[in-house]
Structure 1
Amino acid sequence: YVHACQHTSTCVWVGATKNSQMEVIQIVSECDRKSCNIIEFRDYKLIYKRYASLYFSFCVSVSDNELMYLEIIHLFVELLDRYFESICELDLVFNFHKIFIIIDEMFLAGEIQETSKRTIISRLEEMERVKR
């Protein structure tokens, strides 16, 4: 599942139970900024990264490439920054539906589908034009 969260627990979740959500928030918020960004979590790996006061995390299979997901988190944050012109907690709260659109452009059936920032942004811009 995907998780984007501010330290105060304003979160956008994809595919996580309430218990898992609370566990992830607790684990990630207790981590030292200098600690490893990859944590064993149940039968999975929890991969997270902090940007200012926002946390972004993925819970992935133990066989998945951790570094790839750290890069995907960075790409996701860059897309959010570009789309929202500097992402903040309020963007997560009031535009969660747009965040899901970005996630849908990046992933298909839980697998990475698109990694081109240019392609994703052009699709988002096209959706905005059609919506007007």
Structure 2
Amino acid sequence: MIKFFLMVNKQGQTRLSRYYERVEINKRTVLEADVIRTCLARSKEQCSFIEYKDFKLIYRQYAALFIVVGINETENEMAVYEFIHNFVEVLDMYFSRVSELDIMFNLDKVHIILDEMVLNGCIVETNKARILAPLLILDKMAAS
């Protein structure tokens, strides 16, 4: 099960965070700071899977953005690693070469995409067309 999903830039600023387990706000900031520090300190040659406290961190870097997913010990690391890549591919399809600014100024749409893919910490959809369908309908309604 996915515990949390983070998108951060190289400076360590959180651009998106979604928690699938209840975590108090003050504990979230401490957790995010520690997780971000741990992932940013690693070199490109090191593995993208990290044993961290009582769960695992899976992360991938795309240009200036890091996507970090916290999972429990029963979740498949490679499936989550591929999920991260699929998420970025969906963002690329929607935004035509997604950038950090796209995420910052369209945070609601990024949340819709993530919500279409993950429900209660479980990956429920990976088909790109199905993921984007609700957003494309919303865009058509807004255009008319």
Q: TM-score, normalised by structure 2?
A: 0.86
- The percent identity for this pair of structures is 33
Please give the secondary structure, in 2, of the residue aligned with 1:102. Answer: helix
Q: What are the superposed Cα offsets for residues 63-97 of structure 1, whole Å, 9 maximum, x if unpaired?
A: 10000000000000001111111111111221111
Q: State the one-letter code of the partner of 1:75.
A: N
Alignment match of 2:12 (pick from 9, 12, 17): 9
Please give the secondary structure, in 1, of the residue aligned with 2:59. Answer: strand
Checking the alignment, whether the CA contact within 8 Å between 1:48 and 1:56 is kept in structure 2 is yes
Residues 1:118 and 2:129 are matched in the alignment: yes
What is the rounded CA distance, in whole Å, between the counterparts of 2:83 and 2:50 in structure 1? Answer: 17
Question: Please, which moves more after superposition, 25-34 or 87-96?
Answer: 87-96
Q: State the one-letter code of the partner of 1:22.
A: A
Question: Structure 2: any 5+ residue segments left out of the alignment?
Answer: none
Q: How many residues align?
A: 132
For residues 34-45 of structure 1, what are the structure 2 equivalents within 5 Å? Answer: 34-45=45-56
Question: Structure 1: any 5+ residue segments left out of the alignment?
Answer: none
Please give the secondary structure, in 1, of the residue aligned with 2:135. Answer: helix
- Cα RMSD over matched residues? 1.2
Q: Which structure has more RCO (C-alpha within 8 Å, separation ≥ 6)?
A: 2
For residues 51-130 of structure 1, what are the structure 2 equivalents within 5 Å? Answer: 51-130=62-141
Q: TM-score, normalised by structure 1?
A: 0.94
Tell me how far 1:131 sits from its aligned partner.
Answer: 3.1
Tell me how far 1:25 sits from its aligned partner.
Answer: 0.9
